[in-house]
Amino acid sequence: MFLNHDRQPARRALVIFVLLVVFCMAQLSWWIIFQIKAGETQRELCLRNAQEKGVLAAALVNDRFRRLSHAAQRIYIRNLSDTVLMSGELYLLLEDPAMAGYSVAVGGGEPVIRGGRLDSTFYHTIAGGAVVYFNAAYPMGVISSSGTGLLFSVSGRHGGVGDRWVTPEMYAVSPGLLAQIDDRARRTVTMFAFEGGFFFLVMLAGAYLIYRTFRRAEELKFAQHNFLHSVTHELKAPVASIRLYAQTIMTGRIAPERAQELWPKIIDDCDRLEGLIDNVLEAGHFTRDGYKLKLSPTNLADDLNEYLDDLTPFVKRHGGTIVRTMVDRVMVATDYQALRRVVTALVDNAIKYSPAGRREIAVTLESDGRHCRLSVRDRGQGIAREEQPKIFDRFYRGIDDADRQVRGTGLGLFLVREIVEAHGGEVTVHSDGRDHGSTFLITLPVAEA
């Protein structure tokens, strides 16, 4: 039984990745919404603060006007019989910046005493026809010195009914302050949006790394699990066959001709065991520095013919044929045994993955003077396009049920790639899909003459 190492880990890793992405997006959204709300709250607080300052300014101005009107009234009453002295004392009140002017009428006629500027915007009438006029610019001066961002506007005449000349409604928040508040809120949101976007990308990259690491770990775990199942099966099957053939021969109950037919099968199973053990051992020999080779210049055409001659009996026993198209001579620096393993693995795969009646293997060797190209083409079940980039991975087995029925450990093509790359070459695969066969192309550098 094999576990599907391509779907289950990917699905689990994808779920974790999606959860992390959703968390990051939720965190960023909350961050931006929080800043927008904070900006709105700050705007409301600034407006409320400005309004409270308007109330305080109105109270201060009204208190100042009231004090001046009471002082003028005391002067008027005290000097009612001496207008000259009255005028002198009222004139002293003009030194106060809140005071604009005054006028006193006797008997309801024209004013006989006047001083300063008679601006009737803010005024107070004293009994007997005396009127004091307040500075209409004073309310603005109260707030301008403190930089409150308020504007003062007034229309009409205000005589101080109930000792109230200035109301808080006369103070309004300046458009400049509102624009400043809005701009500050906008810049804050923009800043946090950019910062949040940056951190979101960082978190997204981290989530992707976690997803990729987890997926690789899960795939490796499943691949190793499948590898153990495969190795167990691959070891038990030939041992059981060899035991059965040996016991059959030992009984002496079969004809000599029949016994002779069993010996090649025993040899095949022994070769199968030997190849499996060699693959496992070779896979364990890889280090960070790559595969260690013993290279020597050789005529690759001769070596390739020797490999194929040794493989021909095996191919024929499985109803297959090998068609060779090769140049006579091409010098390549190779490790003889390592390259034998490559050719053996490709021919073995061509037999295993080709149905009976279609086990025709075409081996081609050609050279352009700088590189030689060795191709092994079969007419087997082919390889799905989405699987082609993965088949050279360690422990990889196809996800198709038909692939699962074929014996193997997932190490053969992995060793092919490592050995070819250790030679300074490259191996690629091409297949038009299922039931269209496969072509493995190995490119190696030609040795200098």
Q: What's the whole-number mean pLDDT along residues 200-227?
A: 72
Amino acid found at 115: G
- pLDDT band, residue 286 (cuts 50/70/90): low
Identity of the highest mean pLDDT range in 79-83, 136-140, 285-289: 136-140
* 43-72 per-position pLDDT tens digit: 788 788 888 888 898 999 999 999 999 999
> pLDDT above 90 covers what percent of the chain?
25
pLDDT of residue 401: 45
Tokens of 319: 């109803």
Q: How far is CA 247 from CA 53, 242, 254, in A?
A: 109, 8, 11
DSSP codes of every residue in 152-218: E---S-B--GGG----GGGEEE-HHHHHHHHHHHHHHHHHHHHHHHHHHHHHHHHHHHHHHHHHHHH
For range 178-199, the mean pLDDT: 77
The whole-number average pLDDT for the span 140-146 is: 75
Q: How confident is the model at residue 145 (pLDDT cuts 50, 70, 90)?
A: low
Average pLDDT over residues 294-305: 92
Strand partners, 116: 101
pLDDT tens column, 4-44: 444 555 566 667 777 777 877 787 778 778 777 877 787 78
In sequence order, the 6+-apart residues with CB closer than 8 A to the CB of 214 are 9, 12, 13, 16
For range 126-137, the mean pLDDT: 86
Q: What is the band of 227 on the pLDDT scale with cuts at 50, 70, 90?
A: low
Helix or strand (DSSP H, E) at 323:
strand 321-326
Distance of CA 425 to the CA centre of its chain: 35
Question: What pLDDT score was predicted for residue 13?
Answer: 65
Give the separation between CA 36 and CA 206, rounded to whole angstroms: 27
Q: Does 288 score more than 50 pLDDT?
A: no
pLDDT at 375: 95
Mean pLDDT of the chain: 81
Instruction: Note the pLDDT of residue 347.
Output: 93
pLDDT of residue 377: 94
Task: Quick: pLDDT tens for 235-268.
Answer: 666 777 778 878 877 877 777 777 777 777 787 7
In the chain the domains, ranked by start, together with CATH numbers, are 8-179 (no CATH), 296-445 (3.30.565.10)
The pTM of the whole model exceeds 0.95: no
User: What is the pLDDT, as a whole number, of residue 59?
Assistant: 92
